[in-house]
């Protein structure tokens, strides 16, 4: 493992080393995030069974981006199976895994990675709770097929007894003042005053150049997307892990809501940026797009903001 920024945020690298290596008994909750420059299989091997309430991640899609080398699809899926299997081992019995993926593309043919990884999770006896469609506005303009404007988050749980809170992620109802007009509840509000279920289709801007969270990473999570998962699938003090951490968007979302955060990435530069983002967040200087902010709409005054 390479040490990265060893002097920031209570020295997360040393913390990781003192907590994990071969030491299930030393794993305990704490407030400083653990962010390590490491291959995720090495990182996961040092984590004890059942310690993470939420594992949220977006792996490489085998497209040959800066941070990955393209391999035959079967090899890629074997690697995914090995990582997913370790993730299931460290998953808490009431925990969730959210695997966020798009398409593998070869010679213009698309292969949705959630359908290809689905059998891996099923073999490991996880249960699919939702296939969340994440819709966003920006991406490649295709000429020989429709431009792709969504990816998916498959939400898997270890058991039927999983942590789940709907209220913190409710969104405004379309007609909040609507009331029952007859029957025993006549005159009472018909909807939940806290808002409605956000459904399994989510719209968040993806992190492109004009997004306030943009760093040098080509494919960041928007923090607000992970916040929704953290708030609904964990409690304060629970451990959240991102085994393909990138620049630490899952780490930030976990810390914002008082969860413990663990992550690793093989690229030192990304782990450095993650450390800097956490430091900026601690100082109140990190710019994030707030949860619940309306999507920019060019037809409305000021874009509807």
Ligand X SMILES: C[S@@+](CC[C@H](N)C(=O)[O-])C[C@H]1O[C@@H](n2cnc3c(N)ncnc32)[C@H](O)[C@@H]1O
Residue closer to ligand X, measured from CB, 19 or 40 = 40
Size of interface with ligand X, in residues (CB under 6 A): 20
Q: How far apart are CA 169 and CA 259, in angstroms?
A: 16
Which residue among 267, 271, 278, 291 contacts ligand X (CB under 6 A)? 267
Q: Does the protein bind ligand X through residue 249 (CB under 6 A)?
A: yes
Q: Does the protein bind ligand X through residue 60 (CB under 6 A)?
A: yes
Are 265 and 37 spatial neighbours (Cβ–Cβ below 8 Å)?
yes
Q: Which stretch binds ligand X (CB under 6 A): 54-62, 86-94, 188-196, 282-290?
A: 54-62
Which residue among 220, 234, 275, 288 contacts ligand X (CB under 6 A)? 220
Query: What DSSP string runs through 230-270?
Result: HHHH--TT-EEEETT-TTTHHHHHHHHTT-EEEEEES-HHH
User: Nearest distance from residue 172's CB to ligand X, in Å?
Assistant: 27
Output b/e per residue, 60-89; b: 16+ Cβ within 10 A. bbbeeeebbeeeeeeebbebbbebbebbbb
Q: Does the protein bind ligand X through residue 98 (CB under 6 A)?
A: no
Number of C-beta neighbours around residue 291 at 10 A:
18
User: Nearest distance from residue 176's CB to ligand X, in Å?
Assistant: 33
Binders of ligand X among residues 67 to 86 (CB under 6 A) are 67-68
Residue in 301, 283, 251, 269 with CA at minimum distance from that of residue 54: 251
Residue in 34, 21, 33, 159 with CA at minimum distance from that of residue 92: 159
User: Nearest distance from residue 267's CB to ligand X, in Å?
Assistant: 4
Q: Does the protein bind ligand X through residue 20 (CB under 6 A)?
A: no
Which residue among 113, 247, 256, 291 contacts ligand X (CB under 6 A)? 247
Q: Does the protein bind ligand X through residue 228 (CB under 6 A)?
A: no
Residue closer to ligand X, measured from CB, 68 or 203 = 68
Strands 260-265 and 239-242: parallel
Q: Which stretch binds ligand X (CB under 6 A): 28-36, 124-132, 174-182, 259-267?
A: 259-267
Which residue among 3, 27, 39, 45 contacts ligand X (CB under 6 A)? 39
Q: How far apart are CA 113 and CA 148, in angstroms?
A: 14
From residue 175, alpha-carbon distances to 91, 125, 190, 304 in Å are 39, 40, 10, 18
User: Nearest distance from residue 66's CB to ligand X, in Å?
Assistant: 8
Identify the burial level of 133 via C-beta atoms within 10 angstroms of its C-beta, where 0-12 means exposed, 13-18 middle and 19 or more buried.
middle
Q: Does the protein bind ligand X through residue 33 (CB under 6 A)?
A: no
User: Nearest distance from residue 221's CB to ligand X, in Å?
Assistant: 4
Which residues would be at the binding site for ligand X (CB under 6 A)?
A: 39-40, 58-60, 67-68, 217, 219-221, 244, 246-247, 249, 264-267, 270
């Amino acid at each position: 493992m390479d040490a990265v920024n060893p002097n920031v945020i209570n020295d997360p690298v040393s913390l990781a080393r003192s907590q994990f290596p071969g030491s299930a008994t030393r794993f305990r909750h704490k407030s400083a995030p653990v962010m390590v420059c490491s291959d995720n299989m090495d990182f996961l091997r040092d984590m004890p069974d059942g310690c993470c309430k939420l594992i949220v991640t977006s792996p490489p899609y085998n497209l040959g981006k800066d941070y990955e080398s393209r391999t035959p699809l079967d090899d890629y899926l074997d690697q995914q199976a090995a990582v997913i299997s370790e993730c299931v081992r460290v998953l808490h019995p009431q925990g969730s895994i959210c695997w966020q993926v798009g398409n593998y593309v070869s010679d213009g043919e698309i292969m949705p990675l959630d359908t290809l990884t689905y059998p891996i999770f099923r073999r490991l006896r996880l249960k699919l709770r939702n296939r969340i469609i994440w819709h966003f506005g920006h991406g490649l303009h295709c000429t020989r097929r429709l431009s792709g404007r969504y990816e998916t988050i498959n939400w898997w749980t270890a058991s039927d007894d999983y942590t789940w809170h709907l209220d913190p992620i409710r969104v405004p109802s379309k007609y909040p003042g609507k009331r029952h007009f007859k029957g025993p509840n006549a005159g009472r509000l018909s909807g939940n005053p806290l808002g409605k279920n956000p459904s399994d289709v989510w719209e968040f801007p993806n992190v492109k150049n004009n997004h306030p969270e943009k760093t040098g990473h080509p494919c960041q999570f928007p923090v607000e997307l992970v916040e929704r998962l953290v708030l609904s699938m964990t409690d304060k003090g629970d451990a959240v892990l991102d085994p393909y951490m990138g620049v630490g968007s899952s780490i930030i979302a976990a810390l914002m809501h008082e969860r413990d955060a663990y992550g690793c990435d093989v690229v030192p530069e990304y782990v450095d940026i993650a450390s800097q983002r956490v430091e900026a967040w601690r100082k109140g200087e990190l710019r994030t797009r707030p949860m619940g902010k309306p999507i920019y709409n060019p037809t409305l005054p000021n874009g509807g903001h």
